[in-house]
């Protein structure tokens, strides 16, 4: 059964913006982000996701725990952080299409925090907002079947992966399959699905951004509950994904390369092959025709390049 949702103009627009931004990030001529960015992402992700659940440890404390240092704090909060660090550290090892993997991840995330870690809930639940009931989850005896259907949707439905990741996140929160830890495992699985969609999400802490928009996050969940489909939540989460990507782009935006740096980088690409000015422009994409001509002239004058042919037939080759 396909979960109910609509693909709105806002959804399509955000997907187009996200894919364009990913394309821009891919076109940047710079080394792969360094390990410290991966570590920074993990710290912000863990701290952000747990802060939503009321954990009071800050970024410095989470960083210290990740580095194996002693931190003064509530025992349960420290355990929450250590569990989450362990799960996120092993993210790449989880099969995003496996029910068994989800249960294993929950077992790690909630180890020594609840007795039912890694198991579906066995009792019915009502989610309270103040003194009022804000959500009645499906009966406990339906959880396994509903989660099986949800994973079938992930595996077989042809909807865009960015949309499916949002739908999965919402539906997991709606089903509320675990006694505790549904929010943090839902956000973790969403990030896992994003990572499997594109490697750039290895460095992007979407959870941290959700924490900064926590009221909107819960409002989107509540709105979708009342509407009977996940459309509003999809729109909200896609806007968060786009903003997280934009923030990452701003952080890694490189300075403009010099002509010499471009020529050295191009040598790694073209090696001993002949190439034209058009090939050079296609490799760098963002430089103008005039800039490419100046670069190649500089390369010849420096003795880096050998030029043969005239006009449209001109080709270049790096010297040994």
Q: What is the DSSP string of 45-72?
A: HHHHHHHHTT----HHHHHHHHTT----
Give the tokens for residue 125: 């639940």
Domain residue ranges in the chain: 17-252, 259-318
> From the CB of residue 179, how many other CB atoms can be counted at a distance below 10 Å?
19
pLDDT of residue 29: 57
Give the tokens for residue 175: 């089903």
Q: Distance (Å, rounded) from C-alpha 102 to C-alpha 144?
A: 12
Q: Distance (Å, rounded) from C-alpha 144 to C-alpha 142?
A: 6
Q: Distance (Å, rounded) from C-alpha 243 to C-alpha 240?
A: 5
CATH topology of domain 17-252: Fic-like fold (1.10.3290)
Residue with tokens 């980088």: 265
How many residues would you count in the chain? 320
Helix (H) or strand (E) holding 138: none
pLDDT of residue 156: 95
Minimal CA–CA distance to 318: which of 309, 308, 306?
Answer: 306
Please, how many CA atoms are within 13 Å of residue 137, restricted to the half-sphere of its CB? 28
pLDDT of residue 249: 85
Helices assigned H by DSSP within the chain = 9-27, 35-52, 59-66, 75-89, 99-109, 143-156, 161-175, 182-197, 206-212, 214-227, 231-252, 259-270, 277-284, 289-301
Domains 17-252 and 259-318 share a fold: no
Question: In sequence order, what are the residues at sequence separation of 6 or more whose Cβ sits closer than 8 angstroms to the Cβ of residue 36?
Answer: none
pLDDT of residue 285: 81
Contact 308, 275 (CB under 8 A): no
Give every residue of the chain whose pLDDT is below 50, as ranges. 31
Strands 132-136 and 126-129: antiparallel
pLDDT of residue 38: 74
pLDDT of residue 137: 85
Helix (H) or strand (E) holding 126: strand 126-129
Helices assigned H by DSSP within 134-181 = 143-156, 161-175
pTM of the model: 0.78
Give the tokens for residue 198: 């594109």
Which CATH number among 1.10.760.10, 3.30.420.40, 1.10.10.10, 3.40.50.11270 corresponds to the domain 259-318? Answer: 1.10.10.10
Q: Distance (Å, rounded) from C-alpha 197 to C-alpha 19?
A: 11
pLDDT of residue 248: 86
Q: What one-character DSSP code corresponds to residue 123?
A: S
pLDDT of residue 33: 52
Q: Distance (Å, rounded) from C-alpha 231 to C-alpha 115?
A: 34
């Amino acid at each position: 059964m396909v979960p109910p949702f609509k693909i709105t103009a806002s959804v399509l627009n955000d997907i187009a913006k996200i894919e364009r931004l990913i394309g821009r990030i891919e076109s940047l001529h710079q080394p792969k982000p360094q390990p410290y960015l991966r570590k920074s992402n993990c710290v912000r992700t863990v701290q952000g996701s747990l802060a939503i659940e009321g954990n009071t440890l800050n970024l410095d404390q989470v960083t210290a725990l990740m580095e194996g240092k002693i931190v003064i704090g509530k025992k349960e909060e420290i355990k929450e952080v250590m569990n989450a660090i362990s799960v996120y550290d092993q993210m790449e090892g989880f099969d995003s299409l496996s029910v068994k993997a989800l249960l294993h991840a929950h077992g790690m995330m909630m180890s020594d925090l609840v007795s039912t870690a890694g198991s579906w809930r066995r009792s019915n639940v009502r989610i309270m907002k103040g003194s009022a009931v804000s959500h009645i989850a499906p009966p406990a005896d339906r959880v396994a079947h509903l989660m099986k259907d949800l994973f079938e949707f992930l595996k077989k439905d042809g909807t865009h992966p960015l949309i499916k990741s949002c739908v999965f996140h919402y539906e997991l929160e709606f089903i509320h399959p675990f006694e505790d830890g549904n929010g943090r495992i839902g956000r973790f699985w969403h990030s896992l699905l994003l990572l499997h969609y594109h490697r750039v999400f290895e460095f992007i802490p979407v959870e941290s951004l959700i924490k900064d928009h926590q009221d909107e996050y819960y409002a989107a969940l509540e709105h979708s509950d009342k509407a009977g489909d996940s459309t509003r939540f999809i729109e909200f989460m896609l806007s968060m994904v786009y903003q997280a990507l934009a923030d990452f782009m701003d952080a890694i935006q490189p300075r403009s390369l010099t002509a010499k740096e471009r020529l050295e980088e191009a040598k790694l690409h073209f090696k001993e092959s002949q190439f034209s000015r058009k090939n050079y422009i296609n490799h760098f994409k963002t430089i103008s025709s005039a800039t490419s001509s100046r670069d190649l002239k500089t390369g010849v004058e420096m003795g880096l390049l050998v030029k043969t042919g005239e006009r449209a037939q001109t080709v270049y080759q790096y010297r040994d």
